Amino acid sequence: MPYTTQIQDKARELLAGDQVSCVIGYEVGSRGRTRPAFIYDPDDVERLVWNQNCTHNLTTYLQDKLRPDRGQSEEEPRRVAVVVKPCDSRAINVMLAENHFAREQVHVIGVACDGILEGAGFGKATEGVLQARCERCSERTPVVYDTLIGEAPEVETSDEAAFADLADLEAMTPSERAEFWLSQFDRCIRCYACRQVCPMCSCPTCLFERDDSLWVGMRIELNEKRTFHLGRAYHLAGRCVGCDECERVCPMDIPISLLNRKLAKEIEVQFAYRAGEEPVPSPIITILSGEEG
């Protein structure tokens, strides 16, 4: 049975049985572009699809959808279902570790993923050309799911591949790297799409956008843009799951994921920890185990 049908059937079952109030999945929107869809009615499940353009990390909508309404009883928290790829599923673990919601509030429909096409979501996908993150990816089964759609293909795992493209930059001198990043950040327009699309960027008011922020001013200029990007990368250290949506949505093609992967590598080297593989918090936001007190 095609993945699409399986997802639709599961969604229908969950909605009809009142197990969840909403299924967050994918649909094909205008101009044939795949986009996020929110299904509340079992009769609407036919909108749901699965294809190689399902690039969005839908877990970014979870916190909003699971936030209790004012006056809502704690006994009956909201429950939703969400369609995830393996990379997206790691974000759920991070959010669980940070207590953004409870495990039983989310029915995870995990999809065994063959990789997503470059240009997906913008109507520019080319058949057979995978996104860079998918080329690097060695994990084809979600790390957390309630329903698994499809079977995971055998993939050769290679730990080196994950950080291979950092090497070029790491080999540069500091001033060459500075020049590289300044020319990248120069294009930034502070549209905040990278932050808004990120499931981990969930502060009610971003530290870098407060009216009275002491850390970064309002100017859309180099100092501020760099501080925003470095600060955001730092805040994601040990939390970023590498879905690379930040990089995909950037209208100015800034290679944001390089920063995130650099820190993922540091965390892995220093703490032998990869974000989202287990629902445990990032080592750098906790105290040294066994040494406290």
Partner 1 sequence: MKVVSRDGLAAWLDSLAQQKTLVAPRDVDGVLLYRPVASSAEIVWDYTRPVLSIKEAFFPATERLLVIEKNQQRVELQETLPEGEQVIVGVRPCDARGVKALDTLFIETEPVDTYYARRRANTTLVGLACKEMGETCFCTSVGGAPDDPRDVDVMLAEVEGGYAVQAVTEKGEALLAGLALQDVPGEPPKPVLNEPVPLPETEAWPPHFDDQFWEDMAERCLSCRICAYVCPTCRCFDVRDEALPAHNGHNRYERIRCWDSCTGEVYRRIAGGHNPRADKGQRLRNRFFCKFYYYPQQVGSAACTGCGRCIDSCPVNIDITEVMHHLAEVSR
Partner 2 sequence: MYEPKIIGFLCRWCSYTGADLAGTSRLKSPWNLRAVRVPCSGRVSPELIMRAFDEGADGVLVLGCHIGECHYDNGNHRTAKRMPVLHALMEFAGLEPERLRLDWVSASEGQRFAQIATEFTETVQALGPCKWQQNGLPIHTAEVMEVPDAGVGG
Residues contributing to the site for partner 1 (CB under 8 A): 29-31, 33-38, 56, 60-61, 121-123, 183-184, 187, 189-193, 195-197, 205, 209, 211, 217-221, 245, 248-249, 251-253
* Closest to 39 in 3D by CA, of 5, 92, 80, 97: 80
DSSP assigned state of 189: -
Token pair listed for 167: 């090497």
226 binds, among partner 1, partner 2, none (CB under 5 to 8 A by kind): partner 2
CB of 243 to partner 1, least distance (A): 12
Report the nearest approach of partner 2 to the CB of residue 89 (Å): 25
Nearer to partner 1, 195 or 239 (CB): 195
Q: 179, 189, 191, 218: which one contacts partner 2 (CB under 8 A)? A: 179
Q: Are 68 and 77 in contact (CB under 8 A)?
A: yes
CA nearest 52: which of 114, 1, 2? 114
Cα–Cα distance, 228 to 190 (Å, whole number): 9
* Binding at 283: pick from partner 2, partner 1, none (beta carbon under 5-8 Å per type): partner 2
Interaction between residue 259 and partner 2 (CB under 8 A):
yes
Question: Could you say whether residue 226 binds partner 2 (CB under 8 A)?
Answer: yes
4's CB contacts (< 8 A; 6+ apart) are 48, 49, 50, 51
The β-bridge partners of 37 are 25
Give the whole-angstrom CA distance, residue 24 versus residue 2: 19
- Find the binder of partner 2 among 97, 200, 237, 241 (CB under 8 A): 237
* Number of residues that this document lists for the chain: 293
230 scored as a contact of partner 2 (CB under 8 A): yes
Applying CB under 8 A, which residues contact partner 2?
169-170, 174-182, 207, 214-216, 219, 221-223, 226-227, 230-231, 233-234, 237, 259, 262-263, 266-267, 270-271, 283-284, 287-288, 291-293
